[in-house]
């Protein structure tokens, strides 16, 4: 019990658990026949018609599914290194909320604006980038945070530009995750670093909720039109 408590207090526990779950799910995919779309669909890939039919879990499950070793390796690196940063700054439970809700935000935007079936933790990974940019905007006067923010902002922009010129990339999922993580950073706050103005937190919450509702409505409308 003491060992578990020490691990929870001194290690990025949520990051490690999320990465462990993601790898475990990938092993299940591999055993079932990695790469087959039927496998991804049965495990919960983002499928607009299925979501519109009531399978809401498909807004969550895609972030734990990956199409091949390269896909999970790239996302796994981001989960580990960005996850450690965000968990150290926001704390365990805020990190979990940013990852899951940010990933859902990405899948909601993809549901609204892309008809393609998709999988991948990239929506949640971009949410981590977004949450870091929140810190950069809120605590810009800190020179260390300012330097790190500039680096992560450049990395985020490069990733989005790469998405634009790549086939098979769900760019709307990435944008939705980024924006969702940015807004969630304000909503949840960063007590380990400092206070965020209450007005910013209220505005971010309102924008996030209205955005979700508007995109869900758009997604249902588009899904019904394509049936």
pLDDT band at 128 (very low <50, low <70, confident <90, very high): very high
Catalytic residues: 122, 174
Average pLDDT over residues 93-103: 97
Res. 214 pLDDT band, cuts 50 70 90: very high
Neighbour count for residue 132 (Cβ, 10 Å): 26
The Cα-based distances of 66 to 28, 29, 72, 157, 172 in angstroms read 11, 8, 6, 23, 17
Residue 19: give its domain's CATH number: 1.20.1540.10
Say what the pLDDT of residue 176 is: 96
3-class SS shares of the chain: helix, strand, coil, % to 5? 80, 0, 20
Q: How far apart are CA 174 and CA 8, in angstroms?
A: 30
Enclosing domain of residue 12: 2-226
Helices 13-33, 92-113: crossing angle, 10 deg rounding: 40
Is 201's pLDDT higher than 90? yes
Question: C-alpha angle with apex 17: 92 to 104, nearest 5 degrees?
Answer: 75
Round to whole Å and give the CA distance between 105 and 102.
Answer: 5
Say if residues 144 and 150 touch (Cβ distance below 8 Å): no
| pLDDT tens track for 24-54 | 999 988 888 755 677 788 889 999 999 999 9
CA distance 186 to 12: 21
What's the pLDDT tens digit per position in 51-63? 999 999 999 999 9
Percentage of the chain surpassing pLDDT 90? 60
Q: How many domains does the chain have?
A: 1
- Residue 125's Cβ-count burial label (10 Å; 0-12, 13-18, 19+) is buried
Considering only 85-99, 122-136, 145-159, which range has the smallest mean pLDDT? 145-159
Residues 164 and 124: their CA atoms lie apart, in Å, by 19
Q: What is residue 125's predicted lDDT score, i.e. its pLDDT?
A: 93
DSSP state of 64: G
Cα gap 44→56, rounded to integer Å: 10
């Amino acid at each position: 019990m003491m060992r578990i408590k020490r691990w929870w207090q001194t290690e990025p526990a949520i990051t490690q658990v999320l990465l462990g779950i993601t790898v475990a799910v990938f092993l299940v995919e591999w055993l079932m026949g990695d790469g087959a779309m039927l496998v991804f669909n049965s495990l919960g890939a983002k499928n607009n018609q299925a979501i519109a039919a009531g399978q809401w879990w498909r807004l969550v499950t895609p972030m734990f599914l990956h199409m091949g070793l390269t896909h999970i390796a790239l996302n796994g690196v981001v989960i580990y290194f960005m996850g450690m940063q965000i968990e150290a700054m926001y704390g365990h439970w805020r990190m979990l909320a940013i990852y899951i809700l940010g990933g859902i935000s990405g899948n909601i935007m993809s549901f609204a604006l892309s008809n393609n079936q998709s999988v991948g933790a990239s929506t949640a990974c971009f949410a981590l980038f977004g949450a870091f940019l929140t810190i950069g905007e809120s605590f810009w006067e800190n020179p260390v945070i300012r330097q790190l923010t500039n680096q992560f902002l450049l990395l985020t922009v490069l990733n989005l530009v790469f998405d634009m010129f790549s086939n098979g990339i769900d760019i709307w999922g990435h944008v939705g995750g980024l924006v969702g993580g940015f807004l969630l950073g304000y909503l949840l706050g960063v007590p380990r670093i400092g206070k965020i103005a209450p007005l910013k937190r209220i505005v971010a919450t309102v924008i996030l909720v209205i955005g979700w509702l508007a995109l869900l409505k758009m997604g249902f409308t588009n899904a019904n039109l394509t049936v």
